[in-house]
Amino acid sequence: MQTTIMGRVVAYDERGSGIPLVLIHGFPLNRMIWEAQWEGLADTARVIAPDLRGFGESEMVAGATDIATYADDIRELLDALGVRQPAVIVGHSMGGYVALAYLRRYPEHVAGLVLANTKATPDSIEGKAGRDKNIALARDKGAGAIAEAMLPKLLAPNTAASKPGLVEQVNRIMQSASVPGIIAALGAMRDRPDSTGTLLEFSEPVLILAGAEDPLMPMAEQENMKEAARNSTLIVIPDSAHLSPMEQPDAFNRAVREFLAPLKNQY
């Protein structure tokens, strides 16, 4: 589905009814990473999965983009869809950074958070330098070079060996990202603030989903979020690396379904 918000095309999928469940993808991915979630969870929630600007079928716009820009885009889409009640926001990796920015800006619109394969802390000095290198790489060599660098880090060795179709699908998703979208997202991630304080102030439920073999999001970061968010649960998903919603969709969906159950009752 597509809509136009302030002159910009925004693509999203929407299924089901009930409590709004907003799925925000990571970098350099798009809403297709959530296929198993919108199919598996649409019987329990109103699932809304947008493409962030510059990814998938959502248009990029020129101008400054920071992590809050994506959060504002999500709010504008939810407004356009008539979602005024608090939603459960699910963020995968960079989508988690956006979810935390959304919480910072729109706390009254958040009923709960699912933080998957992500972290609350900002980039280190080395991490920032890596973003600048990747910006140059994307500019010089395009999305394919970024996809090539990312692919080996996304899937657990078992997944990569046993599901060649999934490897191909993930690669295709990353290759399709626009270069301006990639460059803007790398800059936004590089400059994002520390969100630990945002979690400290949040008393609604938080589910932290970690990939047991995620090379990008160390377990210490997961423990850090668990400690900061006073009403949180941490679940480690076995046999998954950085893309747990795609690698282990059943375990992922089961955890989200259980998380939603008490929230739905209040809804």
Q: Can residue 189 be called a binding residue for ligand MLT (CB under 6 A)?
A: yes
Q: Can residue 252 be called a binding residue for ligand MLT (CB under 6 A)?
A: no
Instruction: Name the minimum Å distance from CB 218 to ligand MLT.
Output: 12
Reading the block at residue 212, the tokens are 């047991």
Are the CB atoms for 108 and 83 separated by under 8 Å? no
Q: Can residue 56 be called a binding residue for ligand MLT (CB under 6 A)?
A: no
Q: Which is nearer to ligand MLT, 21 or 189 (CB)?
A: 189
* 192-195 contacts, C-beta under 8 A, 24 or more apart: 192/66, 192/67, 192/97, 192/101, 192/122, 192/123, 193/67, 193/122, 194/120, 194/121, 194/122, 195/97, 195/100, 195/101, 195/103, 195/104, 195/120, 195/121, 195/122
Q: Which is nearer to ligand MLT, 132 or 258 (CB)?
A: 132
Q: Can residue 26 be called a binding residue for ligand MLT (CB under 6 A)?
A: yes
Q: What is the DSSP secondary structure assignment for residue 120, as one 8-state letter?
A: S
Q: Which is nearer to ligand MLT, 22 or 94 (CB)?
A: 94
Cβ neighbours for 113, distance < 8 A, ≥ 6 positions apart: 88, 89, 90, 91, 99, 100, 103, 202, 204, 205, 206, 207, 229
Instruction: Name the minimum Å distance from CB 19 to ligand MLT.
Output: 25
Q: Can residue 27 be called a binding residue for ligand MLT (CB under 6 A)?
A: yes
Q: Can residue 68 be called a binding residue for ligand MLT (CB under 6 A)?
A: no
Q: Which is nearer to ligand MLT, 18 or 193 (CB)?
A: 193
Instruction: Name the minimum Å distance from CB 55 to ligand MLT.
Output: 11
Q: Which is nearer to ligand MLT, 93 or 195 (CB)?
A: 93
Using CB under 6 A, pick the residue from 9, 80, 212, 216 that binds ligand MLT.
216
Q: Can residue 93 be called a binding residue for ligand MLT (CB under 6 A)?
A: yes
Q: Which is nearer to ligand MLT, 83 or 120 (CB)?
A: 120
Q: Can residue 94 be called a binding residue for ligand MLT (CB under 6 A)?
A: yes
Q: Name the nearest CA neighbour of 76 among 7, 25, 14.
A: 7
Q: Can residue 34 be called a binding residue for ligand MLT (CB under 6 A)?
A: no
In what side-by-side order are the strands of the sheet with 232-237? 2-5, 8-15, 46-50, 20-24, 87-92, 110-116, 206-211, 232-237
**Binding characters for ligand MLT, 118-157, by CB under 6 A (x = yes):** ----------------------------------------
Q: Which is nearer to ligand MLT, 134 or 232 (CB)?
A: 134
Please report where in the chains the tokens 């302030």 appear, as a residue.
6
* Helix runs in 54-178, H state only: 67-80, 94-105, 125-141, 143-154, 157-162, 164-175
Q: Can residue 113 be called a binding residue for ligand MLT (CB under 6 A)?
A: no
Reading the block at residue 85, the tokens are 């009640």
Q: Please give the residue ranges that form the binding site for ligand MLT (CB under 6 A).
A: 26-27, 93-94, 189, 216
